Structure formats: structure tokens, C-alpha cells
């Protein structure tokens, strides 16, 4: 009994640990964006297979009573993947129990029904992602009631003799899985916090250069391999050196911090804004329409132009930015950054406070965007 019980716990621990590793890595892959429809079913299927493995290591707790922890896989399926995950796990376990496990007869019907009824009752008390002690305990109480009802159908009133042992086993399973899932959840949150902190610029709250170039390289590869096009905007604060020279570097930090907030508010949801060093910023936009990219760039330019940068002593500064933009399909994706950087340089050389479009080839760029930006720039 203890050997098989230990194996059941080992299967659960292995599944939770490596399943957590897989899901964390998968969420960072290019497939994650399109996995919403099938990942819960896949997760449930994996838990169903784990339930089958635990069935293979069932153990006796009485003369006519054999149990395992297969129902725990269904509970975990509901918690991790919601109704689709729990349903997939319960169906796989039920089908295997009915057709392939043990002698066919009343026990097959009862065993298969046990999995399905457990699922139907658990979804009433447990929700996806909600690891609450009371709900978790209630879900395992459901498991106890369903299985004891199954034993009553199979062996009659003598099922009472297994209640103490079975209750202790299930209580231990509930505590073990709850503590392990809570540990994995806390570890994931802490790792995500540390990873985000490592990828953030402490001053602006935007992504830092290292994080930006990691993402940018991935986006270039996706554009080359899968045709997933994107836009790139580079911008630079005009005459930022004057701010530092006149008001000091702390004032420059205040300007950078306020500009970071502006970029965060002006950037669309499907974008990635970063401070690319000094007073230069970059925005990757998951869009291939030129009008959308220009609209974002112009919004940033106009908002910065109309914003009063207030220093600690109450001084109000009026600043502008110059921007360059380009699209991954307009020329070689690998040269996009250099071409957009050339466009940014062209915008600054031609008067500042304006937007320039990157050319399809290195060494050329074309002006674009508002005439207001050109007119105002001549006096800056």
C-alpha cells in the first residue's frame, strides 16, 4: 500500500513541477498567442494521462477496496485549465476505466461514472486559478463523498470500515497538492517580478536596452521566418543636453521620467516601449499598416510638444522630440533598426520636432507627418 501511495504522490509531484516548467516556457514562445483555444484541452489531456498512470498503481485499503488518486488529477485540471481541462481529464480517465482497466462489469460503470460525477461537482466549488483553502478543501470533500458513494454501490454497508483510512489519505493529498501549488504560484509570481525588474529601466519604468534588443531580435526572426511584420519607432529628445547643462542632471531625470509616462500612455496595447539609452527611446508595434505606425508617432510628437515638463522647483520646460519610423516589410528586416535610426538622424538634422520615414535601403530616408511639426521645428 505505502509503495503504491508513494508512487501516486510522486506522479502528482512530477506532473505539477514539470508541467509548471513547461507552461512557463510555453507562455514565452511564439505559439502562446494562439494557444487560448487548445491549451486548456491539452493540459486536461496531460492530467488525464497522469490519472491513468495513478490507476496503474492502485492500492488496497480493505478486503474488497482498491483506490488511487486519479480524481485529484481532475481537481487539478479544473484549477489549472478550468472547465475544458477538468472535462478532458475526466473523460480520458472515464474512458480508460470503462474499456481498458480491470474486468468489465458493474465496477467499470461505477468507476467511469465516478470520474464524470467528480468533475461535475468540483466545477461547482472550484474556479480556474483560485487557490483558496476553503474551496480546495471542499473540492476534496466532494472527492471523498463521490468515492464513498461508489464503494457503497460496490460493496454495500461494509464501506464504512474504509472511511478512516481513506479520509486520512485524501486529507494528506489535499494538503500536499495545495502546498505544492501555492509554492509554485508564489515562485512564479516572484520570478515574474524579478524578471520584470531585470528588464525595466529604473527611471522611466519602460523596458531597458537589454530587454528591448532581446525582443527586437525575436521580432526580426519572426518577420523573416513567418512573415509576422511589425513597425519600429525611434525617438530622441531635442536639445536634451541643454536641460542637463542648465538645470542639472536631476532635472534631466525628471524629464525622462515624465516622458516615460507619456510613451506608456501613447503606446498601443500591442506595442513594446523601451528606453534605448540616454534620451533615446524605441517602440516596437505589432502592426504592419503604415498609417497606424504614423498615427502613433504623431500622437507622441504632439503630446510631448504640448506637455509642460515641471521640475521640482516649479520650473516648466517646453520640449519636443524627433522621430523616425519604419516597417519590417519595407526593406530587409535585419537592417530596419539602422534605417530607422538614419531616419531619426534626418529628422533632427532637418529641423527637429518632426517625423521621418525610413527608406527601403540604408543611407536614405523620407520625411513624413504633420506640417505643424516642420513649422514649429524651424524656430527650435
Which of 348, 356, 357, 355 is closest to 373 using CA atoms? 355
With respect to residue 203, please indicate whether it lies within any of the assigned structural domains: no
User: What is residue 103's predicted lDDT score, i.e. its pLDDT?
Assistant: 67
Helix (H, G, I), strand (E, B) or coil at 234: strand
With respect to residue 45, please indicate whether it lies within any of the assigned structural domains: yes
Do 15 and 159 sit in the same domain of this protein?
Answer: yes
Which of 365, 344, 334, 325 is closest to 279 using CA atoms? 344
Do 114 and 42 sit in the same domain of this protein?
Answer: yes
**Cβ 15 vs Cβ 69: under 8 Å:** no
User: How far apart are alpha carbons 318 and 249 in whole angstroms?
Assistant: 17
**Cβ 32 vs Cβ 193: under 8 Å:** no
List pLDDT tens digits, range 286-295: 877 899 999 9
Helix (H, G, I), strand (E, B) or coil at 176: helix
With respect to residue 237, please indicate whether it lies within any of the assigned structural domains: yes
Domains: count for the chain: 2
Do 217 and 194 sit in the same domain of this protein?
Answer: no
**Cβ 320 vs Cβ 304: under 8 Å:** yes
The domain of 124 spans: 2-198
Do 192 and 213 sit in the same domain of this protein?
Answer: no
366 forms beta bridges with: 357
Do 192 and 219 sit in the same domain of this protein?
Answer: no
With respect to residue 204, please indicate whether it lies within any of the assigned structural domains: no
User: What is residue 27's predicted lDDT score, i.e. its pLDDT?
Assistant: 76
Residue at a domain's end among 175, 198, 221: 198
Count of other CB atoms within 10 angstroms of residue 170: 19
> Cα torsion for 311, 314, 318, 320, to the nearest 10°?
10
**Cβ 365 vs Cβ 357: under 8 Å:** yes
Task: Report DSSP letters for 43-101, one per residue.
Answer: HHHHHHHHHHHHHHT-EESSSS-EE-SHHHHHHHHHHHHHHHHHHHHHHHHHHHHHHTS
User: How far apart are alpha carbons 198 and 41 in whole angstroms?
Assistant: 33
Do 194 and 219 sit in the same domain of this protein?
Answer: no
Do 180 and 266 sit in the same domain of this protein?
Answer: no
Residue at a domain's end among 149, 171, 198: 198
Do 134 and 222 sit in the same domain of this protein?
Answer: no
User: How far apart are alpha carbons 340 and 100 in whole angstroms?
Assistant: 63
* φ, ψ dihedrals at 84, nearest 5°: -60, -45
User: What is residue 7's predicted lDDT score, i.e. its pLDDT?
Assistant: 86
Do 194 and 214 sit in the same domain of this protein?
Answer: no
With respect to residue 286, please indicate whether it lies within any of the assigned structural domains: yes
In the structure grid, which three cell numbers stand for residue 318, read together? 517646453
Do 177 and 213 sit in the same domain of this protein?
Answer: no
* φ, ψ dihedrals at 294, nearest 5°: -65, -40
In the structure grid, which three cell numbers stand for residue 282, read together? 524605441
With respect to residue 98, please indicate whether it lies within any of the assigned structural domains: yes
User: What is residue 375's predicted lDDT score, i.e. its pLDDT?
Assistant: 33
What residues in the chain have per-residue pLDDT under 70?
A: 1, 30, 32-33, 61-65, 101-103, 159, 362-380
274 forms beta bridges with: 207, 282
In the structure grid, which three cell numbers stand for residue 217, read together? 531580435
> Cα torsion for 197, 200, 204, 210, to the nearest 10°?
150
Do 59 and 153 sit in the same domain of this protein?
Answer: yes
With respect to residue 371, please indicate whether it lies within any of the assigned structural domains: yes
User: What is residue 174's predicted lDDT score, i.e. its pLDDT?
Assistant: 93
List pLDDT tens digits, range 4-48: 888 888 888 898 898 888 888 877 776 766 777 888 999 999 999
User: What is residue 30's predicted lDDT score, i.e. its pLDDT?
Assistant: 65
With respect to residue 87, please indicate whether it lies within any of the assigned structural domains: yes
Q: Domain with 218 in it: what CATH number?
A: 3.30.70.270
Q: What is the strand order of the sheet 231-237 is part of?
A: 271-275, 280-285, 231-237, 321-327, 355-358, 365-368
pTM of whole model > 0.75?
no
Give the side-chain half-sphere CA count within 13 A for 343.
29
Residue at a domain's end among 198, 225, 245: 198
> Cα torsion for 72, 77, 79, 81, to the nearest 10°?
170
Do 288 and 162 sit in the same domain of this protein?
Answer: no
Amino acid at each position: 500500500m505505502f509503495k503504491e501511495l508513494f508512487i501516486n504522490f510522486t506522479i502528482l509531484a512530477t506532473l505539477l513541477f514539470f508541467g509548471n516548467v513547461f507552461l512557463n516556457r510555453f507562455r514565452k514562445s511564439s505559439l502562446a498567442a494562439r494557444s487560448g483555444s487548445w491549451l486548456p484541452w491539452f493540459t486536461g489531456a496531460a492530467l488525464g494521462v497522469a490519472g491513468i498512470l495513478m490507476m496503474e498503481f492502485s492500492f488496497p485499503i480493505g478486503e474488497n477496496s482498491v483506490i488511487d488518486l486519479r480524481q485529484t488529477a481532475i481537481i487539478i485540471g479544473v484549477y489549472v485549465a478550468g472547465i475544458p481541462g477538468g472535462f478532458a481529464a475526466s473523460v480520458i480517465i472515464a474512458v480508460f476505466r470503462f474499456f481498458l482497466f480491470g474486468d468489465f462489469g458493474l465496477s467499470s460503470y461505477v468507476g467511469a461514472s465516478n470520474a464524470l460525477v467528480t468533475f461535475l461537482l468540483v466545477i461547482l466549488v472550484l474556479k480556474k486559478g483560485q487557490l483558496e483553502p476553503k474551496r480546495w478543501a471542499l473540492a476534496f470533500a466532494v472527492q471523498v463523498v463521490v468515492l464513498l458513494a461508489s464503494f457503497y454501490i460496490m460493496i454495500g454497508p461494509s464501506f464504512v470500515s474504509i472511511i478512516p483510512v481513506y479520509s486520512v489519505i485524501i486529507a494528506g493529498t489535499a494538503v500536499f497538492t495545495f502546498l505544492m501549488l501555492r509554492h509554485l504560484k508564489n515562485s512564479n509570481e516572484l520570478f515574474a517580478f524579478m524578471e520584470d525588474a531585470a528588464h525595466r529601466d529604473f527611471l522611466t519604468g519602460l523596458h531597458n536596452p537589454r530587454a528591448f534588443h532581446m525582443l527586437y531580435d525575436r521580432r526580426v526572426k519572426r518577420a523573416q521566418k513567418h512573415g509576422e511584420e511589425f513597425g519600429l519607432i525611434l525617438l530622441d529628445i531635442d536639445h536634451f543636453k541643454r536641460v542637463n547643462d542648465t538645470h542639472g542632471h536631476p532635472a534631466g531625470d525628471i524629464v525622462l521620467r515624465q516622458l516615460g509616462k507619456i510613451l506608456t500612455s501613447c503606446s498601443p496595447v500591442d506595442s513594446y516601449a523601451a528606453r534605448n539609452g540616454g534620451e533615446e527611446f524605441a517602440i516596437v508595434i505589432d502592426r504592419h499598416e503604415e498609417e497606424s505606425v504614423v498615427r502613433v508617432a504623431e500622437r507622441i510628437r504632439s503630446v510631448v510638444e504640448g506637455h509642460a515638463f515641471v521640475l521640482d522647483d516649479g520650473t516648466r520646460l517646453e520640449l519636443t522630440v524627433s522621430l523616425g519610423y519604419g516597417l519590417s516589410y519595407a526593406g530587409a528586416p535585419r537592417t530596419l533598426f539602422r534605417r530607422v535610426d538614419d531616419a531619426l538622424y534626418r529628422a533632427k538634422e532637418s529641423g527637429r520636432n518632426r517625423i521621418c520615414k525610413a527608406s527601403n535601403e540604408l543611407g536614405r530616408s523620407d520625411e513624413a507627418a504633420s506640417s505643424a511639426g516642420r513649422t514649429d521645428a524651424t524656430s527650435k
